[in-house]
Structure 1
Amino acid sequence: MTYLKQLLKKLDLCCLQEHWLFKPEQHLLHDIDTNMIVRAKSIDDENPELSMIARRGYGGVAILWKKEMDDKISVMVDGSNRIQVIQMETDNTPLCLINVYMPSDNKDMDNEYKDTLAQMTEIITKYRNTHDILLCGYLNGSIHRPKTSHDPLLKKFLAENSLELNQEYPEKQTFFHHNGKSSGQIDYFFSASKDLTQYEQNLDMEAENTSDHVPVIATIKRKLIRKSNKPKSVIVRTKWGKCNLQKYQLTISDGVEKILQASNKNIEEDITSIEKVMHNACNEAIPVV
């Protein structure tokens, strides 16, 4: 915590991944710097019993920003406990900042990795036409290596969503395994606008830093402005309790049948198509309230 406290003195906003705190422990983040607003997600947000079963928390994301910026930032409801989204009002287009902690490169986590990428694709699609998009975090995949199953998945996701790495981003390690034998670059800033960030740097590992990762810092080239007082529509969580189950099942059944008929035996393409069918079924069968 000491290292993070010192780091926050140099930052206006900080995105954290893998804070390992249960929801009842999130106050520890608030205690680090009382000049910071904290918004966090934990693994037990939707399952409080986890904090009573597990010995310690795991995963989790958080975003901290200076109090004087609070009237320029809105917290959005998108994503699971691995994803956190905020909207920043700027003198240009509003900025959608996505903070993510991706699943590990354990082979058993491939499906969860794909699911998290699908969630982010949905978020990017939702905001792309009205916002600048900035994705940052612990991606658990690299654009500079081909050796894990996550690397090609990440590259495909970036290409499909037109997200790029700033040319100034150094090809420098950001992760150092505790065994001292492996390292890699798996922490990034990606954006759809080449002029969105500048002065990106990966700090060196320091003795006070007890994490396996080093901080990655960037300057966002936008001037923040106050949030509009105009009322805004709020997008709420999916109301599964109001789902027309018959319509939902029928929409999925019809969609899957069409996929099977048109399939080229490409598993990744078929999975993507099935995900779209499921999203469509949700839109068709669950009323928007």
Structure 2
Amino acid sequence: MHNRTLTLISFNCKSMKRSVECIKSLCERADIVALQETWLLPHDIHILGSIHDDFGYSGKSAVDTSVGILHGRPFGGVAILWRKSVFRSVSVIKCESSRIIAINAETSDKQMVIMSVYMPTDDSENLTEFTHCLGEICAIVENNDSQTVFILGDYNAHPDGQFGKELLHFCTEQQLICADIEKLGLNSDSYTFISDAHGTKSWLDHILVTQASWKSITEINILYDIYWSDHFPIQIKCNINILQSKIAINGRHCNKILWGIRDYEQIQLYNI
């Protein structure tokens, strides 16, 4: 049987409208494109459907236009684009946070959950929101009966920073793998972000996967030839034949730690 390759790309595009040509070029080389910082207003989400004729889409704005007149540029926003010919069906999974979007995608014989995540910046004041987002990610994984999960995004989590350590601790507790760090290595001098203000380099973007997804990964690359944003896309390639076939799991019991439900004292204890 010939290997069938599934290619996923995660990209903080820093404005979908400004980066539309770049995103279109990513669609040419991928089956899934997960976007962060689309900067779209709610009434602009439909524009995602015009990026590439071969791709379906789901998007979420982070802007609440009901509060009145918007001052300054839009902010945040996440989206997922998928190649329609690869997937037999795609359904959107309900997510409470505006920082997370998720889909349940099925091929003829495989089923997978794919998320795009945009986390708050690494600051002690944002730690509670960060852990709440991790908690929702955990809930989405547990509530959807799929062994195959890809969680792509801008986590604002440099490996040796506060959020980076929190993220890796989360992976350990939830039996997830930070695939890019595992494949490329902490000593690889990898980075996905260059600060416009200071020129410093950080490894903020990551791809978390389940054990089943990890076994299928053949390649991970940071696309340093893409210059449309202060972030560089991460590309992951998988042998889709290795992915587990669709199975029904009923009555699964979760005995893992529930993230995002921590009081102030617990957070302070972790930081000591």
Identify whether the pair has TM-score above 0.5, normalized to the shorter chain: yes
Superposed, 1:30-69 pairs within 5 Å as: 30-44=49-63, 47-50=64-67, 52-69=69-86
Does residue 1:160 correspond to 2:173, yes or no?
Answer: yes
8 Å CA contact retained: 1:83, 1:98: yes
- Paired-residue identity, %: 23
Q: Give the aligned residue type for 2:81.
A: L
Whole-Å separation in 2 of the counterparts to 1:69 and 1:91: 9
The equivalent position to 2:153 in structure 1, one of 126, 134, 137, is 137
Mapping for residues 58-137 of structure 1, pairs under 5 Å? 58-90=75-107, 94-127=111-144, 130-137=146-153
Cα 1:8–1:34 change in 2 (3 A) is: same
Report the AA paired with residue 202 of structure 1. I
- Unaligned runs of 5+ residues in structure 2 are 1-19, 247-260
- Structure number with the bigger relative contact order (C-alpha 8 A, sep ≥ 6) is 2
Q: Which amino acid is the alignment partner of residue 199 of structure 2?
A: K
Q: Tell me, yes or no, if the aligned pair for 1:72 and 1:224 is still in contact at 8 Å.
A: no
Is 2:22 the partner of 1:3?
yes
Match of 1:149 among 149, 162, 177: 162
Contact kept in structure 2, 1:90 and 1:223, CA below 8 Å: no
- Residues 23 and 51 from structure 1, CA distance in 2 versus in 1: closer, same or farther, beyond 3 angstroms? farther
TM-score, normalization by structure 1 = 0.69
- Structure 2 length normalisation: TM-score? 0.73
CA distance in 2, matches of 1:7, 1:99: 16
1:218 aligns with 2:236: yes
Match of 1:232 in 2: none
Deviation at 1:213, TM superposition (A): 0.6
Structure 1 residue 223: Cα displacement: 5.1
Deviation at 1:70, TM superposition (A): 4.8
Structure with the bigger percentage of helix? 1
Whole-Å Cα distance in 1 between the matches of residues 84 and 27 of structure 2?
A: 13
CA distance, structure 2, for counterparts of residue 163 and residue 91 of structure 1: 26
Deviations 1:13-35 (A, max 9, x none): 10001111111122332222222
The amino acid of 1:221's aligned partner reads N
RMSD of equivalent CA atoms: 3.1
| Contact 1:134 1:190 (8 Å CA) reproduced | yes
Picking from 180, 187, 190, the partner of 2:205 is 187
Aligned residues: 228
CA distance in 1, matches of 2:207, 2:55: 22
